[in-house]
């Protein structure tokens, strides 16, 4: 799967392909894929960092932070946690802050937009499992594909039937 990866996935899976809401890419890396890890943070960012570090390995982490309005939930601390945790990419359905730190990131960081305000760091919870967004229900059983055209989620078993998945990614 080379260019137009998301378009090929949508074409192959039709209504089974869940197209995530449009986000801006804050890095130079356009293509990514991996198992989904949906995360919903509540109140603050402390536990989000823990989830990124301990559960993110080889996953595309989707952070549902749209309920935070214009307050950012992801900044340079979360970027460091995502890199330390081995995340393949982070898609934030919400705002990010400290954008300059993300420009040189080694993993794709996508979000609705940016703001200089960050949430308090001294409290909060985050839980992984499922995400109910405009695309529909996204769970950890989904496989995520992203490129310049967007981000798409497909049930991993369906995806593997057409495009075999290895631990390191999809075979060409």
Sequence length of the chain is 172
- The pLDDT, as a whole number, for residue 63 is 93
How many Å apart are CA 60 and CA 122, to the nearest integer? 26
Helix (H) or strand (E) holding 58: none
The vertex-138 CA angle with 49 and 105, nearest 5°, equals: 40
Write down the architecture of domain 5-166 according to CATH: 3-Layer(bba) Sandwich (3.50)
**Which tokens sit at 33?**
């894929």
Local confidence band at 3 (pLDDT 50, 70, 90 cut-offs) = low
* Average pLDDT of the residues in 116-120: 60
Query: For residue range 44-84, what is the model confidence (pLDDT) as tens digits?
Result: 788 899 999 999 999 999 999 888 877 888 988 999 999 99
Domain ranges of the chain: 5-166
Helix, strand, coil % over all residues of the chain, rounded to 5:
25, 40, 35
The per-residue pLDDT of the chain, averaged, comes to 85
| Residue-wise pLDDT tens digits, 125-167 | 677 777 888 778 889 999 999 998 889 999 999 999 988 786 6
Note the pTM of the prediction, 2 decimals: 0.86
């Amino acid at each position: 799967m080379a260019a137009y990866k998301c378009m090929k996935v949508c074409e192959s899976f039709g209504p089974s392909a869940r197209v995530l809401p449009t986000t801006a890419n804050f890095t130079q890396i356009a293509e990514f894929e991996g198992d989904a890890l949906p995360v919903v943070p509540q109140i603050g960012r402390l536990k989000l960092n823990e989830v990124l570090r301990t559960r993110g390995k080889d996953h595309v982490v989707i952070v549902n932070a749209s309920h935070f309005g214009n307050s950012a939930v992801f900044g340079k601390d979360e970027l460091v946690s995502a890199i330390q945790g081995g995340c393949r990419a982070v898609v934030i359905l919400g705002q990010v802050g400290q954008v300059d730190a993300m420009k040189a990131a080694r993993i794709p960081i996508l979000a609705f937009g940016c703001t200089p305000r960050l949430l308090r760091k001294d409290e909060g919870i985050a839980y992984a499992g499922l995400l109910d967004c405009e695309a529909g229900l996204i769970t950890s059983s989904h496989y995520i594909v992203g490129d310049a055209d967007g981000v798409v989620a497909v049930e991993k078993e369906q995806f593997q039937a057409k495009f075999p998945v290895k631990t390191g990614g999809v075979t060409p």
